[in-house]
Structure 1
């Protein structure tokens, strides 16, 4: 019986009284089945989350003794570059400003890949963060290079695609 009590307590239930069949459920999420093993009795989740896992690389980028900005230097570098790109765009250098913004996101992906602890730059898993930063950064840079007037990058099939989808209204 002592072996059964130890096993039962490990599973989150306790034997009450003297009989081994009387099991008190301590965990409202799981209840013991006929063998005494906990089984999820409901699909409800606990009301409050007790703990959340930080994303990998989500630790501090500098020791705790360093000032707050130094601990979060990767996200600050990306945000300051994006801010500079927005400022350049506001001063009528659209193409240069948006290329700077897209490049900041690409640098964020590179930092997420190379630096083990990137602080708040880590949002999800390393793979998800990198794919997101690369996709958004590449899209912004490509759109900036294709912006009119005088695009620096021309993709030939886009003009034909636009012609066939919109059609010719004059004919």
Structure 2
């Protein structure tokens, strides 16, 4: 025992502060640190490292080396996209691949047959008949998109968008085939007046 000390005397201030149990959120008053302990020290070190590693950006948000700054909120690449409504298999998974995509194959085969008729021109008015087949294939695609619950790859966007796109394009192609000259199969007086006015 040293001079002037007894077993009943309290421990020195520094030792008592070191030996006292502290709450997790209590600050260490000895060294002046502001964190609650090792967890806060690791977090502060990580934040400081992230701040040091972050690229210097200018007013336009570009990095100092000329590369655009990457956003932390959105990924660089799209990793997944939502399947359109009704874009599932048209047949069960056990069926072969052509059977699972029969709506798309039906539309493609009908449009291909129309193109073949137009190119080969095997009979009179083949151009008109082939073009009507192409437009009819698109209209059939619109009907399938509306009636069949799952049409596979025929579903490109929402059901409403696909209906409008397929139906409008198919109808316009069929109308153009019907009013094509010479000897149109459909007479539209308004269209004839518009053509005459344009020619004059």
TM-score, normalising length: structure 2: 0.61
2:105 matches 1:76 = yes
2:89 to 60, 72, 81: 60
- The total of aligned residue pairs comes to 137
Cross-structure match for 1:10: none
* Structure 1: gaps of 5 or more residues: 1-15, 26-41
Q: Which runs of 4+ in 1 moved over 4 A?
A: none
2:135 matches 1:113 = no
Deviation at 1:67, TM superposition (A): 0.7
**What's the RMSD between the two structures over aligned residues?**
2.6
Larger radius of gyration: 2
Cross-structure match for 2:195: 162
2:39 matches 1:17 = yes
1:137 to 170, 187, 190: 170
Q: 2:144, 2:165 → 1: CA distance?
A: 13
Range with greater deviation from structure 2 (123-132 or 47-56)? 47-56
Q: 2:113, 2:94 → 1: CA distance?
A: 29
Cross-structure match for 1:90: 119
Secondary structure of 2:195 counterpart: helix
Q: 1:140, 1:156 → 2: CA distance?
A: 19
Q: 1:141, 1:108 → 2: CA distance?
A: 14
Secondary structure of 2:39 counterpart: coil
Cross-structure match for 2:157: 124
Deviation at 1:162, TM superposition (A): 2.2
Q: 2:195, 2:160 → 1: CA distance?
A: 34
Deviation at 1:161, TM superposition (A): 1.6
Deviation at 1:73, TM superposition (A): 0.3
